[in-house]
Structure 1
Amino acid sequence: MRAPIVNDQQRAFDLEEFLASSGLGRRIVQLKTKDVFFSQGSLADSIFYLQKGRAKLAVVSAAGKEATITLLSSGDFIGEESIAGVMGRRLATATAMSSCTALKIERGEMVRVMHEEHAFSDLFLKFLLARSMRTQADLVDQLFNSSEKRLARILLLMAEFGKPGEPETMIPKITQEALAEMIGTTRSRVSFFMNRFRKLGFIDYNGRIHVHKSLLNVILHDQLTKPNATTPSLNNVPRKNSKAKPGRPARQD
């Protein structure tokens, strides 16, 4: 008696296998440094799961000015706007910062597996929540932190401090202009801060940047890196007209 034919959709869903291999509506793609996953304004017809490597999302204004809006690493999805309602256009350009291996999932297959496989939808929901929290943290960083502290945070994120496992202390090649765009300052200020971090032993760089765990001090403990930068005591601040003439009260400023 012949065994019944079992297709891929009838087998037990294996999340790791799905994300690691090609199949119906999905294929593995290889990208070199500076290769483009997709461009701003192109049709949002697929989503990528980054298996290995680093990438960035950047937007270009009508005036032609480019700004990097987020960094991506293995385990991230790229181009999630492709399943937001009707098929639209890409809002940004995704570019490889190092050699990348990614699973390209067609929009229809992505929608299907989201509806039918709870393990996958749970994973994707966790990613979206983490991305939302990261976006909020980026906004708070821009609003309240100094450009020096923002630079320290970006370097730590690129080194993946805080993620499970050992951090990759050597971050992908990135220009000071790109770092300046990401933290909202000038290239000269980035150069100044990088030299300060290096002198204090927080980083090393000679073509590639090595980030040391001690850089966390700038963020976690709000350590002032400026020499002799201390907050003056109110008792040491001289008061104007502190000496009053006899018979006249001292002036209160």
Structure 2
Amino acid sequence: MAKADDDGFDPNAFLAKVGLGKEILKFKKTQHVFKQGDVADTVFYLQKGSVKLTVLSEQGKEAIVGILEPGQFFGEGCLNGHPLRIATTTAMEECVITSITKEAMIAALHAEPKFSELFIAYLLKRNSRVEEDLIDQLFNSSEKRLARLLLLLAHFGKEGVPQPILLDISQETLAEMIGTTRSRVSYFMNKFRKLGLISYNGKIEVHNSMLNAVLHEKPEIKRDDSTEKI
């Protein structure tokens, strides 16, 4: 977390408190923060909970394109001239979110270097993740995409220590996120469990062996050109 600068500005305190152009909002599970096509004039910062991003095509097909966790911004497209929201954001559990008007956000970025650093760091990290996701979709099998997604949701974990995925996430959601069917996800999850890559004790626990299997191209996580798309 960023620290206060010499002038006493603390970006985390700034994001956690009500102020000019800022509100602290609470959302219940399944409640929309904003919908695709809404006017884009606000940036949001997730303090607590998790939010999923979905996009609806002109043909009516919906896809989950991301899951946000505490410490992430969203809706920042309005700063780049997007007049309307290009995705729908929905609370996956009870959430606490800071709402910052476009004007207040721009003012803070100009006036507070520490806040600018925090926001730029977020944008760079998100950019890298988007590039990695694109490469993953283009070149990896659905099995390897699922393994990578589980590692990301578990924050990769520490050596030898199973890392639980705290988020309650369904196989349907996992399937949408990697571009395959729920039945394929179910098959791969059972396979991962039998191989000792994951375990299930109320929550999915991802083991370090999963990371080794993905990084070192072990036979259990292999390329399969017969992947199914939804």
TM-score (norm 2): 0.85
Shift of 1:42: 0.4
In the aligned structure 1, how far is the partner of 2:80 from the partner of 2:59? 27
Shift of 1:182: 1.2
Cα 1:13–1:23 shift into 2, 3 Å: same
In the aligned structure 1, how far is the partner of 2:90 from the partner of 2:163? 20
Q: Secondary structure at the match of 1:29?
A: strand
Q: How does 1:149-160 map to 2 (within 5 A)?
A: 149-160=144-155
Q: Secondary structure at the match of 2:155?
A: coil
Q: What is the aligned counterpart of 2:34 among 30, 33, 38?
A: 38
In the aligned structure 2, how far is the partner of 1:167 from the partner of 1:116? 43
**1:54 is aligned to 2:54:** no
In the aligned structure 2, how far is the partner of 1:224 from the partner of 1:149? 11
**1:17 is aligned to 2:18:** no
Cα 1:32–1:114 shift into 2, 3 Å: same
Judge conservation of contact 1:68–1:181 (CA < 8 Å) in 2: yes
Q: Secondary structure at the match of 1:70?
A: strand
Cα 1:93–1:120 shift into 2, 3 Å: same
In the aligned structure 2, how far is the partner of 1:76 from the partner of 1:204? 28
* Per-residue Cα deviation, 1:30-62 (whole angstroms, up to 9, x for no partner): 222222111110011111111122212110111
Amino acid at match of 2:214: I
Amino acid at match of 2:97: A
Shift of 1:130: 0.7
Q: How does 1:176-191 map to 2 (within 5 A)?
A: 176-191=171-186
Judge conservation of contact 1:218–1:225 (CA < 8 Å) in 2: yes
Count of residues paired in the alignment: 214
Query: What stretches of structure 1 of length at least 5 have no aligned partner?
Result: 1-10, 230-253
Q: What is the aligned counterpart of 2:102 among 101, 104, 107?
A: 107
Cα 1:168–1:39 shift into 2, 3 Å: farther
> Which residue does the alignment assign to 2:24?
28
Judge conservation of contact 1:156–1:211 (CA < 8 Å) in 2: yes
Q: Secondary structure at the match of 1:51?
A: strand
> Which residue does the alignment assign to 1:247?
none
* Per-residue Cα deviation, 1:96-137 (whole angstroms, up to 9, x for no partner): 222221111111101111111111111111111111110000
Query: What stretches of structure 2 of length at least 5 have no aligned partner?
Result: 1-6, 223-230
Q: How does 1:1-253 map to 2 (within 5 A)?
A: 12-85=8-81, 88-161=83-156, 169-205=164-200, 208-225=203-220
Instruction: Report percent identity of matched pairs.
Output: 53
Judge conservation of contact 1:25–1:109 (CA < 8 Å) in 2: yes
Amino acid at match of 2:142: S
In the aligned structure 1, how far is the partner of 2:12 from the partner of 2:182? 42
Amino acid at match of 1:202: L
Judge conservation of contact 1:171–1:210 (CA < 8 Å) in 2: no
RMSD of aligned C-alpha atoms? 2.2
In the aligned structure 2, how far is the partner of 1:162 from the partner of 1:88? 39
* Per-residue Cα deviation, 1:185-205 (whole angstroms, up to 9, x for no partner): 122111110110111222223
Q: Secondary structure at the match of 2:138?
A: helix
Q: Secondary structure at the match of 1:56?
A: strand
In the aligned structure 2, how far is the partner of 1:92 from the partner of 1:218? 34
In the aligned structure 2, how far is the partner of 1:124 from the partner of 1:221? 34
Amino acid at match of 1:170: I
* Per-residue Cα deviation, 1:128-150 (whole angstroms, up to 9, x for no partner): 11111100000000111111110
Judge conservation of contact 2:144–2:214 (CA < 8 Å) in 1: yes
In the aligned structure 2, how far is the partner of 1:105 from the partner of 1:113? 10
Q: Secondary structure at the match of 1:24?
A: coil
Q: Secondary structure at the match of 1:34?
A: coil
